[in-house]
Amino acid sequence: MRPDIPSAGHAKHFQYRAAVDGLRGVAVLAVLGFHAFPETVSGGYVGVDVFFVISGFLITGIIARQLLHADFSFVDFYWRRVRRLFPALVLVLATTLVLGWFLLLPHEFKQLGKHVGAAAAFLANFAFWRESGYFDTAAEFKPLLHLWSLGIEEQFYLVWPAVLVAFWKRRTTLLVILWTLVLASFALSVHLAQASPVTNFYWPVSRFWELGAGCLLALLMEGRTRTAPTEDERRFLDVGYNLLPAAGLALILASIMELDESTPFPSWPALLPVVGALLILATPEHVWLQRKVLGSRPLVWTGLISYALYLWHWPLLAFLNILSAGTPPAAIRWMALGAGFLLAGLTYHYVEIPIRKHKEWKFNIRLAASAVAAGLAGVIIYAAGGVAQRFDADIQALRHGPRLDRSCYARFGPAAPINYCRSTSAEPPSILFIGDSRAHAIYEAAAPMFAAEHSVMLLGRGGCPPLLHVRISGYDPNEADCPQVWRTFVDYVHKTKPKVVVVVGNGSFLITDPNIRLIREGAPTRESKEAIFEHGIRSLLSELVQTTRVIYLGEIPRFATGPSCFLRAVRLPTTQCHPERDREQVERAMAPYNRVLARVQTTYPDIQLVDSIGVLCADNVCSQRPPGKPLLYSDAVHLSSAGARLLIDNTRLTQLISRDMLKADSG
């Protein structure tokens, strides 16, 4: 069993090794296992790193042999990449867009359009890197998330062939350059694993060392002197050749089973799969493990379809995650993997292989044009806002993500840890709303009522509930900045002295979630979380009341699933949506938080505490869409525009603001 060779020139310098396809099979099975059953195959993501090593090794070997025979052409190289990558990629992108049209809500379809455009340009890794943060869609709900790796690989191949050709006649210099690049990229990866884990994951420069390691092995193997070994040397080599691939496979399997999502990666742990792959690739095919295990027909066939299988499997799983509002049952995930194998086999035999045989430049142009067309379709969908006109008003009202007015944000500078900054005027604010992401809907509903006469402003940071002098761990990647965020907000209040500050409260889960730690700055840690939370509230309010009147809006109830779950036209039979909660359950969960607020108000009786539960909940139930009322939530935790208007009207929040404005004016 061997792959189709797309051109005679390529075949002349191509030395097929079935075990390499077997190693591809191991890699793709690891990735599939991790994506479908992460609790069992916890380190299966290392399969991508094995792919990187294989790719660097094979491509460099082919180019090196072509250069040895003065037969390398940049045009031929890149057209072969087009014939290799584009057929299956365009098919998957087009299919994903069609499924998205029928299955995704506007904001989801809009994001998918952006991802299709980025993937068609091999820039998906940068697109996902820029999205990362508190408001990022969960990874399991992004149908094209897996294409970040394809972006990194193709970005590498924009640079590496030129370097190889430029220094080919100076072989020692070439090896020194490659060693330097590999070590520098690895060192950067180790540094970024702590300094900026998301950047480390998606940036090509911190991943190039894995491809470079395969390139380095290929050059070393091409440059070695081939002399016939003596009998003793042959026996020694046979023992080594049998041990090395076994050790390599053991390293890969160990990383698949022992690493998990908490492992800093890629960093030192990435050496396990990378070195494992190198040990396997460095040994000849005649050894037992290469022939009988990696060269077995099932693994080789899986390796042959691995590219198409990698492309197909994740969109299938991601769409199922979306339709089930979470992780579907194991049986459904197994069915998705089975469908992935079927689609991959069909794609390989009836799309990839036939198309690779076409070497006419006009056909190559058509392939490239098809990728451009797919990318443009994605861009159009993104620009059209996910074509929201397909849906009713409730669904169109679902909006997500932070909002920054440039003129507002310019007051703080690009380094400010703020992702909500809105203002009705260039003047310093008379009324200031501050909070985490929940403050945005409240601001949007209230600001128009005051904007004609007063400057109204919003300052917010998603993932940072209103606490001062308290550090949070175990909650969200934003948590490290939270003390700085609230120091920035308080300093701005001291500087501008607004007449009224509305604090949009949140944080009951910080007290009740056992996985979250609260740390009081400059104090011993042996305090209850409730006591530390109270210290954070008191510290914040004590500073605010020095310069302004304060209204504190109590926490808005949260739900297990958002309205997108029950509004979606297509759902799995096993999908469980939770549009309602018992009011008693909500109040019980928020009891420690409300105790803190009650104690704080005895210290600061002039602060107006506004209860949201009494407005957003009926006597016995809290609902995202109460009977006879519009949709109150845009997702599981954020109010919709209608919900925010209902809240400020029925709590008389605007009247309280107006009254405090008069009191501030009267002194």
pLDDT in tens, 258-269: 999 889 999 999
- Show the tokens assigned to 251: 């390293």
Q: What is the DSSP letter of 617?
A: B
Mean local confidence (pLDDT), 318-333:
94
Residue 482 CB-half CA count within 13 A: 30
Distance separating alpha carbons of residues 174 and 478, to the nearest angstrom: 42
Q: What is the pLDDT of residues 328-350, one digit of tens each?
A: 999 999 999 999 999 999 999 99
How far apart (Å, rounded) are the C-alpha atoms in residues 202 and 194? 14
- Report d(CA 583, CA 622) in Å as an integer: 6
Residue predicted with more confidence, 132 or 364 = 364
* Separation of first and last alpha carbons in the chain: 88
Express as a percent the part of the chain with pLDDT over 90: 71
92/451: higher pLDDT: 92
pLDDT computed for residue 287 by the predictor: 84
Residue of 104, 9, 86 whose CA lies nearest to 365 = 86
d(CA 180, CA 666): 70
What pLDDT, in 10s, does the model give residues 620-633?
999 999 988 889 99
Q: Of the ranges 116-120, 409-413, 527-531, 537-541, which one carries the lowest mean pLDDT score?
A: 409-413
Reported confidence tier of residue 235, pLDDT bands at 50, 70, 90: low
| pLDDT of 57 over the 90 cut | yes
| Tokens matching residue 15 | 């030395």
Q: Is the pLDDT of residue 139 over 70?
A: yes
Do the Cβ atoms of 504 and 552 come closer than 8 Å?
no
Residue pair 279/302 in contact by the 8 Å Cβ criterion: no
Contacts of 555 (CB under 8 A, 6+ apart): 505, 506, 507, 508, 590, 593, 612
pLDDT higher than 60, residue 232:
no
At 2 the pLDDT is 38
Peptide bond connecting 266 to the previous residue in cis, omega within 30 degrees of 0: yes
Q: Report the chain's C-alpha Rg in angstroms.
A: 29
Q: Which of 110-114, 124-128, 195-199, 234-238 has the lowest mean pLDDT?
A: 234-238
Name the β-bridge partners of 186: none
Quote the percentage of the chain above a pLDDT of 70.
93
The whole-number pLDDT of residue 223 equals 64
Say if residues 533 and 507 touch (Cβ distance below 8 Å). Answer: yes
Cα 284-286-288 angle, rounded to 5 deg: 110
What local confidence, expressed as pLDDT, does residue 581 receive? 95
Query: Is 18:295 a contact under the CB 8 Å cutoff?
Result: yes
For residue 109, pLDDT beyond 80: yes
CB 423 within 8 A of CB 429: yes
Amino acid at 110: K
Spell 190-207 as b/e; 16+ CB within 10 A means b.
Answer: bebbeeeebebbbbbbbb
- Estimate to the nearest angstrom the gap between the alpha carbon of 207 and the chain centroid: 16
Q: Tell me: the pLDDT tens digits for 398-454?
A: 766 668 888 888 888 877 888 899 999 999 999 999 999 999 999 999 999 999 999
pLDDT of residue 665: 73
Residue 4 pLDDT: 40
Residue 525, pLDDT score: 64
Q: What pLDDT score does 405 carry?
A: 84
Question: What tens digit of pLDDT does each residue of 173-183 get?
Answer: 999 999 999 99
Q: Are strands 549-553 and 608-610 parallel, antiparallel or unpaired?
A: parallel
Partnered with residue 470 across adjacent β-strands are: 520
For 211, the token pair is 């491809």
On average, the pLDDT of the chain sits at 90
pLDDT digits (tens, 9 = 90+) for 271-286: 999 999 999 999 888 8
- The confidence score (pLDDT) of residue 526 equals 76
Confidence check: pLDDT of 9 > 70: no
Phi, psi of 334 (to 5 degrees): -60, -40
Range scoring the smallest mean pLDDT among 96-100, 132-136, 546-550: 132-136
Q: How many other C-beta atoms are found inside a 10 Å radius of the C-beta of residue 69? A: 10
Q: Where are the beta strands (DSSP E) in 483-623?
A: 500-504, 517-520, 549-553, 580-582, 608-610, 621-623
* Per-residue pLDDT at 240 exceeds 70: no
Q: Burial-class residue 413 by CB neighbours within 10 Å (0-12, 13-18, 19+).
A: exposed
Q: Would the pLDDT of 524 be above 70?
A: no
Cα–Cα distance, 258 to 42 (Å, whole number) = 7
Average pLDDT over residues 12-40: 89
Q: Which two tokens stand for residue 600?
A: 């704080």
Closest CA to 607 of 667, 560, 540, 557: 540
What integer is the mean pLDDT of 211-235?
75
Residue length of the chain: 667
State CA 157 to chain mean position distance: 24
Give me the residue label for tokens 């761990």: 473
pLDDT > 60? residue 1 = no
